[in-house]
């Protein structure tokens, strides 16, 4: 995929697009979570849409030629980066970093000096190196899913 031959756009996440967000989440290369498992966790298109509409779950999405290829959502109240997901063909192009940067800026504007997220503790996982390369640091804690908690402190 070449960025010169395609149209890449970023925009805020929309409540009406949550079925597409759920579908994409099941197509990621690592840590794919399908619709059934998300529902078991209490995440449905309706619940996700409600959180977006309430303003508690802002997000940034990316489209390539009109097709959803990635997104990042955060919790406005806690400062958690809840999810960053990309289709495999969108990896390695800087889209994940761009989405994360946009979401981090939005949460910083909301008043957060510290952000956090859950990340695989396996050094073989793409997310392990990705976040650390961008300045995220381990807190030494794990979340309810067994993921390592990383934090980012704005200076």
pLDDT in tens, 107-155: 999 999 999 999 999 998 888 999 999 999 999 999 988 899 999 999 8
Distance between CA atoms of residues 147 and 155, nearest Å: 25
- Given a cut of 60, whether residue 18 has pLDDT beyond it is yes
Would you call 31 exposed, middle or buried from its count of C-beta atoms within 10 A (0-12, 13-18, 19+)? Answer: middle
Q: pTM of the entire structure? A: 0.91
Nearest to 90 by CA among 70, 120, 110: 70
Tokens of 10: 């970023």
Angle, nearest 10°, between helix axes 18-25 and 45-54? 120
Distance between CA atoms of residues 113 and 144, nearest Å: 23
């Amino acid at each position: 995929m070449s960025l010169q031959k395609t149209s890449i756009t970023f925009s805020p996440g929309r409540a009406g697009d949550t079925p597409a967000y759920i579908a994409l989440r099941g197509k990621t290369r690592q840590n794919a979570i399908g619709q059934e498992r998300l529902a078991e966790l209490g995440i449905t298109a309706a619940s996700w849409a409600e959180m977006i509409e309430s303003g508690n779950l802002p997000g940034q999405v990316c489209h390539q030629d009109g097709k959803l290829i990635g997104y990042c959502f955060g919790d406005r109240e806690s400062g958690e980066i809840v999810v960053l997901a990309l289709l495999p063909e969108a990896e390695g192009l800087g889209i994940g970093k761009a989405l994360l940067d946009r979401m981090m800026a939005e949460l910083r504007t909301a008043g957060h000096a510290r952000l956090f997220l859950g990340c695989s503790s396996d050094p073989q996982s793409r997310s392990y190196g990705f976040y650390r390369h961008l300045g995220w640091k381990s807190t030494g804690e794990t979340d309810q899913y067994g993921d390592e908690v990383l934090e980012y402190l704005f200076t």
